[in-house]
């Protein structure tokens, strides 16, 4: 699209505004930002008369947006990245642009063995067969336990010694299923394509993510749920032992729907939760390593050990798998947290009087996620009750 090298009077106002704040903005940049949906067009005004053209005025929100775009734009920054960063700062990015950026983030989540959209037309079984073959050909597997987490696990195990008998006894599965990295990768891919997996497979995945543990009470709890509480399990489990309330199909399709339909305040809450979870996870790693280095195991190691097999520990693992954070990863994580809130709300409708007070158990969930669930799923009244009950 052609553009004039000379700015209009309205654009000159924006350029001058940026200059007063120490930024250089060009006519070409303004045009590019408008094409990307990041900056609204100028508002047409009246004509000047006698063929002298017409006037226009920048929308009021353009001034803040131009300053932020000049500050954030740079080499390698895609328009979708800029849209997400602007949105995160509470700036008035056009709604359609924000939703498109969240959808684009989902599109970047490619499974191991996937080759872009080549398998999109296949049914889930055919896709899984194709991905399985590609994984076998390439020897590609998921990193179940990143190196940093594995080193922390090993150092804690050496410092604590053998697990006490009462902990060992909590693992009631005498012959647990053992997954190789390839098996675990296929199980994870199956869950993504199909939407849900049997509890036995979930338990096996938990064991694979802590291969050095002599016992895994959490995996055992998942594996024996159907036998321990058959009445409750019957209302939430399908015949194959998978979670019936999780929709079939590729969850990424559901995340795209969320990107298109979730209130913008929910998208913002999910974004800030994702950012805070990453900060919390990296801070916990550093605090644990500091305690281990000092030879003084304290609150950080206790938090790590308590949460290693729970949502908080899985969040640490997921964070360490992504050493390089990008706005796209933040948006994808935001949608995933919102999706989990939806599933928990569905579970709450199937099992009235859910014991939400367990969210306050140390290590169960990252604090930002606990707060999101209490706000979006449980509700203020129940959240207060949960906190009081635990306290």
At 265, is the pLDDT very low, low, confident or very high (cuts 50, 70, 90)? very high
In the chain, the percentage of residues whose pLDDT exceeds 70 is 74
Q: Looking at the predicted structure, is the pLDDT value of residue 124 above 70?
A: no
Q: Looking at the predicted structure, is the pLDDT value of residue 168 above 80?
A: no
> Does the reported pTM lie above 0.95?
no
Tens-place pLDDT, residues 3-41: 557 888 899 999 999 999 999 999 999 999 999 999 999
At 348, is the pLDDT very low, low, confident or very high (cuts 50, 70, 90)? confident
Q: Which pLDDT belongs to residue 47? A: 45
3-class SS letters over the chain: CCCCCCCCHHHHHHHHHHHHCCCCCCHHHHHHHHHCCCCCCCEEEEECCCCCCEEEECCHHHHHHHHHHHHHCCCCCCHHHHHHHHHHCCCCCCHHHHHHHHHHHHHCCCCCCCCCCCCCCCCHHHHHHHHHHHHHHHCCCCCCCCHHHHHHHHHHHHHHCCCCHHHHCCCCCCCCCCCCHHHHHHHHHHHHHHCCCEHHHHHHHHHHCCCCCCCCHHHHHHHHHHHHCHHHHHHHECCCCEECCCCCCCHHHHHHHHHHHCCHHHHHHHHHHHHHHHHHHHHHHHHHHHHHHHCCCCHHHHHHHHHCCCHHHHHHHHHHHCCCCCHHHHHHHHHHHHHHHHHHHHHHHHCCCCCHHHHHCCCCCCHHHHHHHHHHHHCHHHHHHHHHHHC
In the chain, the percentage of residues whose pLDDT exceeds 90 is 39
Tens-place pLDDT, residues 211-223: 777 777 777 777 7
Q: Looking at the predicted structure, is the pLDDT value of residue 243 above 80?
A: no
pLDDT-wise least confident of 86-90, 193-197, 209-213, 381-385: 381-385
Average pLDDT over residues 73-90: 90
pLDDT-wise least confident of 129-138, 261-270, 360-369: 129-138
Average pLDDT over residues 250-259: 88
Q: Which pLDDT belongs to residue 328? A: 93
Q: Which pLDDT belongs to residue 333? A: 94
Q: Which pLDDT belongs to residue 114? A: 62
């Amino acid at each position: 699209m052609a553009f004039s090298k000379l700015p209009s009077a309205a654009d000159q106002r924006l350029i001058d505004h940026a200059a007063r704040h120490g930024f250089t903005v060009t006519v070409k940049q303004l045009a590019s930002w408008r094409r990307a949906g990041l900056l609204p067009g100028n508002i047409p005004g009246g004509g000047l008369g006698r063929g002298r053209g017409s006037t226009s005025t920048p929308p009021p929100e353009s001034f803040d947006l131009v300053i932020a775009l000049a500050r954030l734009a740079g080499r390698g920054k895609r328009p979708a990245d800029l849209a997400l960063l602007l949105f995160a700062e509470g700036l008035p990015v056009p709604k359609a642009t924000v939703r498109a950026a969240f959808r684009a983030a989902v599109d970047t989540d490619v499974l191991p063995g996937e080759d872009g959209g080549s398998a999109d037309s296949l049914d889930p079984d055919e896709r899984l067969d194709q991905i399985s073959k590609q994984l076998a050909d390439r020897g590609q597997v998921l990193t179940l336990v990143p190196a940093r987490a594995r080193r922390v696990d090993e150092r804690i195990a050496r410092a604590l010694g053998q697990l006490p008998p009462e902990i060992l006894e909590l693992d009631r599965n005498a012959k647990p299923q053992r997954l190789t990295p390839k098996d675990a990768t296929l199980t994870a891919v199956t869950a993504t394509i199909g939407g849900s997996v049997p509890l036995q497979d979930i338990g096996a995945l938990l064991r694979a993510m802590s291969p050095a543990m002599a016992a895994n009470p959490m995996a055992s709890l998942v594996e024996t749920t159907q036998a321990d509480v058959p009445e409750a399990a019957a209302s939430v489990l399908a015949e194959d032992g998978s979670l019936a309330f999780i929709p079939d199909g590729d969850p990424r399709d559901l995340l795209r729907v969320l990107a298109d339909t979730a209130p913008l305040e929910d998208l913002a809450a999910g974004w800030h939760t994702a950012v805070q979870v990453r900060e919390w996870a990296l801070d916990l790693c550093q605090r644990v390593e500091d305690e281990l280095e000092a030879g003084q195991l304290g609150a950080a190691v206790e938090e790590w050990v308590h949460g290693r097999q729970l949502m908080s520990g899985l969040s640490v693992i997921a964070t360490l798998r992504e050493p390089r954070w990008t706005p796209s990863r933040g948006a994808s994580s935001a949608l995933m947290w919102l999706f989990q809130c939806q599933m928990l709300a569905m579970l709450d409708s199937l099992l009235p009087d859910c014991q939400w007070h367990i969210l306050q158990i140390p290590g169960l969930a990252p604090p930002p996620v606990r707060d999101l669930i209490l706000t979006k799923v449980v509700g203020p009244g129940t959240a207060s009750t949960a906190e009081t009950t635990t306290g």
